[in-house]
Amino acid sequence: MQSRFRSDRRLTVRMGLTLFLLGLLYVAFVAALIVLLKSWVLVVVLAGGLLVAQYWFSDRIALYAMKGRIVEREEYPELHGVIDRLCAVADMPKPVVAVSDIDMPNAFATGRNANNAVICVTTGLLRRLEPAELEGVLAHELSHVAHKDVAVITVASFLGVLAGLMVRFAFYSQIFRGRKDQNTLAVFAGIMGISAAVYAISFLLIRALSRYRELAADRAAALLTGRPSALASALTKVDGDIARIPTKDLRTAQAFNAFYFSPATGTEPGISKYFSTHPSLEQRLDQLGRISAELGEAAVPGIDKAG
Is 80 assigned a ligand-binding role in the annotation?
no
What sign does the CA torsion over 33, 34, 39, 43 have? positive
Catalytic, out of 141, 268, 282, 294: 141
Phi, psi of 111 (to 5 degrees): 125, 155
Kindly list the strands in the beta sheet with 117-122, ordered across the sheet, starting from the edge strand earlier in the chain: 68-70, 96-100, 117-122, 107-111
The answer for residues whose C-beta is within 8 angstroms of residue 307's C-beta and 6 or more apart is 289, 290, 292, 293, 299
Is 140 assigned a ligand-binding role in the annotation?
yes
- Picking from 181, 212, 253, the residue whose alpha carbon sits closest to that of residue 10 is 212
DSSP 261: S
> If you count them, how many residues does the chain have?
307
pLDDT digits (tens, 9 = 90+) for 233-258: 999 999 888 877 766 666 666 667 77
Q: Which of 159-172 are b and which e, b meaning 16 or more Cβ less than 10 Å from the residue's Cβ?
A: bbebbeebeebbee
For position 233, what pLDDT does the model report?
Answer: 95
For 10-70, give the DSSP string.
HHHHHHHHHHHHHHHHHHHHHHHHHHHHS-HHHHHHHHHHHHHHHHHHHHHHHHHHTTEEE
**Contact yes or no for 121/80 (Cβ under 8 A):** no
Predicted TM-score of the model (pTM): 0.81
Element housing 177 (H / E): none
What percentage of the chain exceeds 70 in pLDDT? 78
What percentage of the chain exceeds 90 in pLDDT? 37
Is 214 assigned a ligand-binding role in the annotation?
yes
DSSP H helices in the chain = 9-37, 40-65, 77-90, 123-128, 131-146, 149-172, 182-225, 228-242, 247-251, 281-295
- Picking from 291, 205, 288, the residue whose alpha carbon sits closest to that of residue 239 is 288
141 catalytic residue (yes or no): yes
CA dihedral 85, 88, 89, 92 (to 10 degrees): 120
Average pLDDT value for the chain = 81
- Picking from 98, 78, 86, the residue whose alpha carbon sits closest to that of residue 143 is 86
pLDDT digits (tens, 9 = 90+) for 205-244: 888 899 999 999 999 999 999 999 999 999 999 988 887 7
**Contact yes or no for 233/302 (Cβ under 8 A):** yes
- Beta strand 96-100 with 117-122: parallel, antiparallel or unpaired? parallel
Taking the CA of residue 190 as centre, how many other CA atoms within 13 Å lie in the half-sphere pointing to its CB?
17
From the CB of residue 214, how many other CB atoms can be counted at a distance below 10 Å?
Answer: 24
301 band by pLDDT with thresholds 50, 70 and 90: very low
